[in-house]
Structure 1
Amino acid sequence: METALPKNDLKLEINNRQILSMSLPISLSLLVPFLNFTANNYFVSGLGEAALGTAGITGVYFLVVAVVGNGLNNAIQSLIARRAGENRLEEIGKLFSQGVRIALIFAAIGIALTYLLAPVIFNNVLQSQNVDKSAVNFLKIRVWGLPFLYLFQMGNAFLVGTNNSRYLMIGTLFEAGANIFFDYGFIYGHFGLPELGFNGAAVASVLAEAIGVVVVFGFILLKGLHARFHLFSYLRYSKELTRLILRISAPLIGQFSISLISWLVFYILIEHHGERALAVSNVMRNIFSLSGVFIWAFASTTNAMVSNIIGQGRSHDVHKLIYRIMKLSFTSALCMFILFNVFAHELLSVFRLSNEFVAAAVPVLRMVTTGMLLMSISVVWLNAVTGTGNTKMNLIIEAVTIVAYLVYIVLVLEVYKLNLIWAWASELIYWSVIFVMAFNYLKSDKWKGKVI
């Protein structure tokens, strides 16, 4: 969907058309990785409940190390959107080049830490020896996708920040198609490829991410965006810009890290309740990922648009923008809530597991989708905080929230040993605290005048 703005004017307007022109391509680009992730679990589920449960816990661990890319992505996106609002195109290229350099360094660190720490973590905290061995072997392959993932995220941050989100689908379509092909090939030994079983999913993901990066950067070159925004004109190291990027991204990396580490703790505690509980929770993560496709698209749009509007000197319009995006986000979540609950059994049956598994999962699904409604509101306000540039507040909000979250899940799962429904009620605690803190901060107007 083309923007109504002139080609050389990157300033955004506050209306539904502008919001949807950014968020819909983002949601479609997020939908493809979700289908990619679901395909992984679909093929892995053919190996049994134990493999599906292991896929859940390795997936959460990989999200923890991948979160550095998310932090950089959000920071670069916010900075690029701010420069776009100011119509400073040359600065966008400088930021992008330094972001790519930082991303590759962080990827190398993530690979090294995984080889050092993953065996220690999984061999000492998981009760099932089959699960911990499979998890470690899987991650030692999967982590080699980090450089490609981080670069892919940098490309996406550039496209969203410069109001070119309509091009996001190109790379994600190629990546998803490659992942499904290699999943089927490497897990079960089809298309002349070796049969690698569970580890085949890791190999498939790495190859697919590499293909995604080649396509995204190739498309940027093909469309001449690299020339318009001077992407490769300032490859020399810049201490000033590197410090700026790290200053904005470090709190976001911290925010996402402690959030996902707490989720890893959640899955470890779930594993103590048996393989079925772990498998059900992995399916719930699939459901949450599907609901998050549209919700996180609106969140990403909030980050970029708030930063762009502030860059235009229109801080007084930020609240108006947030409420408009929030309504659209909640409406999309409500539609999914109704759909998931009406067709709960059909949705869960997709994973080809027993009727007993489906019966155990349905009540949990009801709780998860309720949390999704609250998430659709809270995540918009949280990403508006990111858009203001005061990412330290993001970290503070997340830290306070995680304390409440961890206390709750430890009491529910370890002390009182309640069932899985109450464990997933933790999402209600998490998003409630997020909303209260982000809402109060933005209403205080303390963020006005923040320069990045």
Structure 2
Amino acid sequence: SVISELVSTLFFIIYTLKTVDLDKYGFKKIRIQLSVVKQVLNISVFMMAQYLLSVVVWMLFFVFIEKLGERPLAISNIVRSFYTVLILPAQALGSATNTMVSNTIGAGRQSGVLNLLGRVTKISLAITAVIILMVFLFPHALLHIYTNDPVLIAETVPPMYVLLTLLPIFSVGAVFFNAVSGTGNTRTALVFEIITLAFYLSYMWWIIIYLQSSVALSWTSEHIYWFFLMSFSFLYLKYGKWQNKKL
């Protein structure tokens, strides 16, 4: 993992030196401008806090799962691995949406943002539908990548199916939530994250710790998280006053 990060960093440095006009972007005469630093931090500090909170609570999910026993934790680790892979297309489209929304607003075409989101959402849902179909048809074959234990595979299939029902919500939510950050309203995005995590933690405690539910039902916690995040983001983009945001 560290080597891959190092290689990526070296690639970006070499690519920048070879292809970017260093004078145009001030790379040849680098100096610290406190006004610029303040402006950047005014946007980025809320994103950093948002990512930190989401990672911490995501870790808590597996701490809670561990309370159910070693077997549920083993199943959840397999599901998590699949989850990470299956959401990659939607995550990539979400990141692209962040940039495209910023560019659209920068070009003075705020009225075109919702149309842009509609197009990206359709693409995200179409790709997600293909992924869902493939996993639905061949769950056992895909799970064999992680384990040869037939009992463990059989126990992992139900939470995998629950995961498939999450993917459409994720594919839309990732686009909308990244769009909120793309408008420059990272403070608002952090507020949405905090409120959503409150619902998420409450449901997670209730379904896992209090009810001691199955692994499959425990994974419905992700539905709660992405449903609320998607809903808050959609309502804000539809009715909020983000068009005149000054960066």
What does residue 100 of structure 2 align with?
Answer: 305
TM-score by length of 1: 0.53
Alignment of structure 1 residues 219-368 onto 2, 5 Å = 219-222=15-18, 224-227=19-22, 229-230=24-25, 232-368=27-163
Q: Which amino acid aligns with 1:241?
A: V
The alpha-carbon distance between structure 1 residues 298 and 229, as it changes in their structure 2 partners (threshold 3 A), is farther
How far did residue 268 of structure 1 move? Answer: 0.7
Assess, with a 3 A threshold, how the Cα gap between structure 1 residues 231 and 217 changes in structure 2: closer, same or farther.
farther
The alignment's TM-score, normalised by the length of structure 2, stands at 0.95
Gaps of 5+ in 2: none
Equivalences for residues 181-200 of structure 1 within 5 A? none
Q: 1:233 to 1:340 in 2, by over 3 A?
A: same
* Inter-partner Cα distance in structure 2 for 1:234 and 1:396: 38
Letter in 1 for 2:201: L
1:392 is matched by which residue type in structure 2? R
Map 1:125-140 → 2, pairs under 5 A: none
In 2: Cα distance, 1:397 partner to 1:216 partner: 32
Structure 1 match to 2:165: 370
What residue is the counterpart of 1:207 in the other structure?
3
Structure 1 equivalent of residue 188 of structure 2: 393
1 or 2 for the larger relative contact order (CA 8 Å, sep ≥6)? 2
Change beyond 3 A, Cα 1:345–1:262? same
For residues 250 and 259 of structure 1, the distance between their equivalents in structure 2, rounded to whole angstroms, comes to 14
Q: Which deviates more from structure 2 when the two are superposed, residues 362-371 or residues 237-246?
A: 237-246
Shift of 1:220: 2.2
CA apart distance, 1:274: 2.1
Give CA deviations for 1:340-375 in whole Å, capped at 9, x if unaligned: 111100010111341111011000000011111111
Q: Percent identity?
A: 31
Aligned Cα root-mean-square deviation (Å): 1.4
Query: C-alpha displacement at 1:226, in angstroms?
Result: 4.8
